[in-house]
Chains A and B, each alone.
Chain A
Amino acid sequence: MQAQCRQVMKANPPTATPEDSVDHLRSLMTELHITHVPVMKADQLVAILSFHDITRSAIKDIAFENQFAEAIHQELARVVSADANRMLLGGSSVASRVARRSCERRSGSLLFASRQLSQISSSNSTSRTGRPDAN
């Protein structure tokens, strides 16, 4: 004779409400080693959420955050480049030299500026001591 559902089911399973946070739901599933949770509203079943649903939502959020971070990075690079061109071209500091080189090479990215700063610092220490810094 085959087993019946009532023989293997767990009565009174953990549930969630629409007001619960998804973080709470994720923790609940992880701690209890369960993959599905019924969502109850005023003692009425309204849905079942699976770990797959939560994962899909998280992936969507991460994709959005990556796009947002990329947009911020591009805007920051643009602003820094514009500021460097406007404020530092006439100076003689290391930063000014970086700005001038950036303009000469038509590059305004932070990465480029960072590399140039590193090279200038290295050449400065070499010219002072005759050999590169140990650092």
Chain B
Amino acid sequence: MSMTVSELLTDKAKQAPAATLFSIGSDAGLAEAVAFMNEKGISSVIVTQSGKMQSLITLG
């Protein structure tokens, strides 16, 4: 039987218990988003508008 997303998240949490979800405003520039991801060492960032998720921007 295939593993569930929930189980995968549990595994991931064991490896990185302090993982944080980062977000950036939709008005932010692309260069700013890329610099932000590089600074935080992450490959994706949530794009928000009025505090709600609109999309996500990824590296690669």
Contact = CB atoms under 8 A, between A and B. Distances in A.
Interface of A: 2-6, 8-13, 16-25, 34-36, 38-39, 45-50, 52-54, 57, 60-61
A48 B46 contact: yes
B53 A38 contact: yes
B30 to A, nearest CB: 5
B9 interface: yes
Interface of B: 2-9, 11-12, 21, 24-31, 33, 43-44, 46-47, 49, 53-58, 60
A18 to B, nearest CB: 4
Interface of A is mostly: mixed
B24 A5 contact: yes
Contact of A5 (B4, B5, B26): B26
Given A5-B26, A5-B27, A5-B28, A25 B55 contact: no
B58 A4 contact: no
Contact of A45 (B9, B31, B53): B53
B21 to A, nearest CB: 7
Contacts of A35: 43-44, 58, 60
